Amino acid sequence: MASTTPIDTPPAPPVPRPSPRSTGRMGDKIFLGLSRGSGILLLVIMASIAVFLSYRSAIAISENEGNFLTTFDWNPAGDPPVFGIAVLLFGTVVSSIIAMVIAVPIAVGIALFISHYAPRKLAAPIAYVVDLLAAVPSIVYGIWGALVLVPYLEGLNLWLDDFFGWTYLFDKTEIGIPRSLFTVGILLAIMILPIVTSVSREVFLQVPKMNEEAALALGATRWEVIRLSVLPFGRSGIISASMLGLGRALGETMAVATVLSPSFLISLHVLNPGGGTFAQNIAAKFGEADAFGRDALIASGLVLFVLTLLVNGAARLIIARRKEYSGANA
Amino acid sequence: MSHAPTGVIERPTPASPTPKSSLGSRSLPRLAPLGFAVVSVALGIGIPLAAGWHSRIQWGMLSALFFLAISYVVTTIVENQRQARDRLATSVMWVCFLIAVVPLASLLWTTIVRGAERLDGYFLTHSMAGVLGSEHSGGVYHALIGTLEQVGIATVISVPFGLLTAVYLVEYGKGTLAKAVTFFVDVMTGIPSIVAGLFILSIMLIASIEPSGLMGALALAILMVPVVVRSTEEMLKLVPNELREASLALGIPKWRTILKVVLPTAIGGITTGVMLAIARIAGETAPIILLVFGSQLINTNPFEGAQSSLPFYIYEQYRIGEAASYDRAWAAALVLIAFVMILNLVARGIARWKAPKTGR
Amino acid sequence: MAKRIDISGLSAFYGNHKAIEDISMTVEPRSVTAFIGPSGCGKSTFLRTLNRMHEVTPGGRVEGKVLLDDENLYDSNVDPVTVRRTVGMVFQRPNPFPTMSIFDNVAAGLRLNGSYRKSELNDVVEKSLRGANLWNEVKDRLNKPGSGLSGGQQQRLCIARAIAVEPQVLLMDEPCSALDPISTLAIEDLIGELKERFTIVIVTHNMQQAARVSDRTAFFNLAAVGKPGRLIEIDETERIFSNPSVQATEDYISGRFG
């Protein structure tokens, strides 16, 4: 980039101009100051997100009579105030895991479909549509999930209960509309499908042609080419794509808030209605919360923040390491 | 083919175990997968009908499973196991694709059909003032104004901020500061929208600020900045170094080089990035719930008092739970999707139009 | 095990562009045939039609016949996968599978074709690496990644990988162009040994190399840029380099052109 260019102050040209260097110097200084200032401001914002959230959380947690981590209740307005994130953490993690289990294999399948299987004329439009779908606002997914998907899933729920009830996980012990963590997981899976697909697709398209030809020339079928050269090359890409999707799923608010019928219970019967997630709980409880209640919600938001930070950080680390790895081999 | 060559180097040609027609092999006709598909769909619908299962999702899943099983077994019998595995993989890819298409098509279809029922000129030009949730009346005008103003303010804040940060990273950035900024831009991309909302909320609680469109716009700006930085950065990196050097060698100061040469060269891509970022934040609901509070009335002043916004309006109407409000929710969803999609299409159009022409 | 290739009336296309036109020739078994000619004359494209790799390129298609001991590669009931298993290929740049060990690289083709006992695999890997003159250099680090070898070693690893499945024919697409002179010499020696067992076709830009390693040489040329490449003549290498029957060949070889 330009930063590597040694010509920072070029020798003044012999053209007679009213002291070009001095205005240049001044302008350079101001411009550098502004752009560096923006970079610093960005760091300041990130730091203050952490600081402000922690500060308000500390206020809430210090008044909390329950255990913030283990209490199965959210009643900051009570006397004494009692609230805890156990149910929220459980619900957030479980629904995201369900979403990942469903979405990642399908997304990898679609990505391979686009990069290696679809007829060439079809591949570009499909990729385009997948990108557009990533732009559909989450609230639209939310009302679609609540008004269209939920009724459709009733039959599937009964069926899973009938045939896989013995797994405990799919044992539906409560009757009711399937506004469950399982349904939320399915909806989240649909929502993160586009991002996981497009990141994986990018990686699959980067597989060097010569690696694929090596496999082909050995007499590999198309699937064997993928197994021998595409998947090994794309493995870390798939992992980081999944992590990015996971980050989205963890923080998703509206789709969960519209679909889930919340309750402060932890149950591994994922088909039962009930449960809650961080973001959903904040959106649902905010309207009725007083100032202290809001601090309590901020405290739960801080946990969500840290959670997404860890997931996204891990994804970025994997991507960075992959870059080094492929750079060394180039 | 000679499997497991047994160590002999010289082997006279006639001794080779290869039969005469070694290259030819039995293979299924090209349209066989289509036949499999028809049979599996018939089975996938027939069996549930006989058994009395009504969920169409099950029909689809059964058909898909039958399809995979039939094509694997038939190919194993007619061709061989390697071909069968290859065909299985191909079938799985197609099934994955179809599985993904069904819900997404349903989403778009429902939104368009249900939204069109209620969407008309009246809906776009009236607010919800004095309209009861169950009434078949009212409109989205106040929410449109809210969205336009909030998104507008967020754009005005984050575009210069994002551009300058990207310029710093590409044109000046080295050392620890640039590395830190790069890393935190990535981190910022992953911040859930509700956390951005909570951050502004915590400031409002500390400084006792009332909800307003501006507060929502600030949260939206936090979500928008990293997207702008990332896309601008990518575009600036594409500007060839020769251009910069040519300009610098003419004695033009660096800041003017950046403003007059580098940015104009990348302007198409930067515009695309900004529009995609706008499309992304226009659909954000969570920060609006926390910071703008929502309103049934027209409030054109984003700096004071509660406002509505399109996504918030959809959520609000959904929560009322009446048939009439569901209609309004769908119609607003259609407006929002149309807005976002148009932004996307225009942005991609610009990207294609401004894309650097390749030599070929 | 080595087979004769009879090509008749072969043309290859990229979409609407005709890259090579109406080529007919015979490649003798257990010999080295070199393809020479100026850049863009379609010799690599032609090579890739001999194991149906050309059609992997988007828009690539072929007309004409390639007979491998009387069997047409382009018959409708012929599976290209089987063809490539029978006609091995070594590429311009060494391309070992980057995530696999040296051992796994050589064994990759065998593993595709069914299950082998460990001892069988060991035997074949050792034999192939010996065949590629690489065994002594790598026998102590078979489990290290193949990408850790030098360029010339990587190319010999690729040759070992290709001969491990015992193909009938070995195609080499400028196998030495990315290598230093010493590695090139090693590969050329190897080619001389391999022709005892395989039919070898090699594309090369380097005329001395063609003269050194090949028994027969085919010269390709194109009438003008954008026109399809054609076979000008094929003959004993010695004759091509001493007394070619076509003027264009002589011009090219003596450096007056190309």
| pLDDT score for B359 | 38
What is the length of chain A? 330
| pLDDT score for A117 | 86
The answer to whether the beta carbons of residues C53 and A213 sit under 8 Å apart is yes
- DSSP symbol at C147: G
Number of domains chain B contains = 2
The answer to whether the beta carbons of residues C62 and A228 sit under 8 Å apart is no
Q: What is the CATH number of the domain that holds A84?
A: 1.10.3720.10
Low-confidence ranges of chain B (pLDDT < 70): 1-25, 54-55, 354-360
| pLDDT score for B204 | 92
Are B185 and B243 in the same domain?
yes
Are B159 and B249 in the same domain?
yes
Q: What is the mean pLDDT of chain C?
A: 88
Question: Does residue A299 fall inside a structural domain?
Answer: yes
Determine the distance in angstroms separating the CA of B284 from the nearest CA of chain A, rounded to an integer. 7
Question: Does residue A218 fall inside a structural domain?
Answer: yes
CA quadruple B277, B280, B286, B288: dihedral, nearest 10: 60
Chains with ≥3 CB–CB distances under 8 Å to B: A, C
Q: A159-163, B206-210, C27-31, C147-151 — which is least confidently predicted? A: A159-163
Question: Does residue B127 fall inside a structural domain?
Answer: no
Measured distance CA(A138)–CA(B320) in Å, rounded: 19
Strand A82-83 versus strand C71-72 pairing type: unpaired
Angle at which helices B32-51 and B56-78 cross, to 10°? 140
| pLDDT score for B220 | 96
Give pLDDT tens digits for C104-134: 999 988 888 776 788 888 999 999 998 888 9
| pLDDT score for A193 | 92
Q: Which amino acid is at C182?
A: I
Q: Which amino acid is at B75?
A: T
Identify the contact set of chain A against chain C, taking CB-CB distances under 8 A.
Answer: 120, 208, 210-211, 213-221, 224, 228-229, 232-233, 329
Cβ <8 Å between C56 and A232: no
Q: Which amino acid is at C192?
A: G
Are B258 and B299 in the same domain?
yes
Domain of residue A314, residue span: 44-325
Question: Does residue A128 fall inside a structural domain?
Answer: yes
Are B199 and B329 in the same domain?
yes
Kindly list the residues from chain A whose CB atom is less than 8 angstroms away from the CB atom of residue B225. 42
Are B205 and B334 in the same domain?
yes
Are B220 and B291 in the same domain?
yes
Are B78 and B171 in the same domain?
no
What percent of chain C lies above the pLDDT cut of 90?
A: 38
pLDDT exceeds 60 at position A46: yes
What percent of chain A lies above the pLDDT cut of 90?
A: 38
Question: Does residue B12 fall inside a structural domain?
Answer: no
Question: Does residue B315 fall inside a structural domain?
Answer: yes
For residues A113 and A315, the model is more confident at: A113
3-state secondary structure of C245: coil
Kindly list the residues from chain A whose CB atom is less than 8 angstroms away from the CB atom of residue B85. 221, 223
Question: Does residue B312 fall inside a structural domain?
Answer: yes
Question: Does residue A27 fall inside a structural domain?
Answer: no
Determine the distance in angstroms separating the CA of A292 from the nearest CA of chain B, rounded to an integer. 10
Q: Is the ipTM of this complex over 0.90?
A: no
Question: Does residue B121 fall inside a structural domain?
Answer: no
Domain of residue B225, residue span: 141-353
Are B106 and B150 in the same domain?
no
Give the predicted TM-score (pTM) of the model. 0.84
Give pLDDT tens digits for A183-237: 999 999 999 999 899 889 988 988 888 888 999 988 888 899 998 889 988 888 8
Question: Does residue B48 fall inside a structural domain?
Answer: yes
| pLDDT score for C41 | 87
Are B62 and B98 in the same domain?
yes
Number of domains chain A contains = 1
Are B56 and B158 in the same domain?
no
Domain boundaries in chain C? 3-92+168-252
Kindly list the residues from chain B whose CB atom is less than 8 angstroms away from the CB atom of residue A250. 192
Cβ <8 Å between B5 and C197: no
| pLDDT score for A7 | 42
Q: What is the mean pLDDT of chain A?
A: 84
Task: Tell me the CA distances in angstroms from A102 to A183, A260, C111, one per residue in order.
Answer: 12, 18, 31
Question: Does residue A38 fall inside a structural domain?
Answer: no
Q: What is the CATH number of the domain that holds B234?
A: 1.10.3720.10
For residues B251 and A11, the model is more confident at: B251
Task: Give the per-residue SS3 of chain A.
Answer: CHHHCCCCCCCCCCCCCCCHHHHHHHHHHHHHHHHHHHHHHHHHHHHHHHHHHHHHHHHHHHHCCCCCCCCCCEECCCCCCEECCHHHHHHHHHHHHHHHHHHHHHHHHHHHHHHHHCCHHHHHHHHHHHHHHCCCCHHHHHHHHHHHHHHHHHHHHHHHHHHHHHHCCCCCCCCCCCCEHHHHHHHHHHHHHHHHHHHHHHHHHHCCHHHHHHHHHCCCCHHHHHHHHHHHHHHHHHHHHHHHHHHHHHHCCHHHHHHCCCCCCCCCCCCCECCCCHHHHHHHHHCCCCHHHHHHHHHHHHHHHHHHHHHHHHHHHHHHHHHHHHHHHC
| pLDDT score for A19 | 47
Question: Does residue B14 fall inside a structural domain?
Answer: no
Fold (CATH) for C3-92+168-252: Rossmann fold (3.40.50)
For residues A183 and A7, the model is more confident at: A183
**How many Cβ atoms sit within 10 Å of the Cβ of residue A295?**
25
Give pLDDT tens digits for C178-222: 888 888 888 899 999 899 889 999 999 888 899 999 999 999 998
Whether residue C211 lies within 8 A of chain A, CB to CB, comes out as no
| pLDDT score for A324 | 52
Task: Give the per-residue SS3 of B12-45.
Answer: CHHHCCCCCCCCECCCCCCCHHHHHHHHHHHHHH
Question: Does residue B125 fall inside a structural domain?
Answer: no
Buried b (16+ CB within 10 A) or exposed e, C151-182: ebbbbbbbbbbbbbbbbbbbbbbbbbebbeee
Are B234 and B313 in the same domain?
yes
Cβ <8 Å between B23 and C166: no
**How many Cβ atoms sit within 10 Å of the Cβ of residue B295?**
23
Q: Determine the average pLDDT of the residues in A32-61.
A: 93
| pLDDT score for A323 | 59
Are B216 and B280 in the same domain?
yes
Cβ <8 Å between B161 and A38: yes
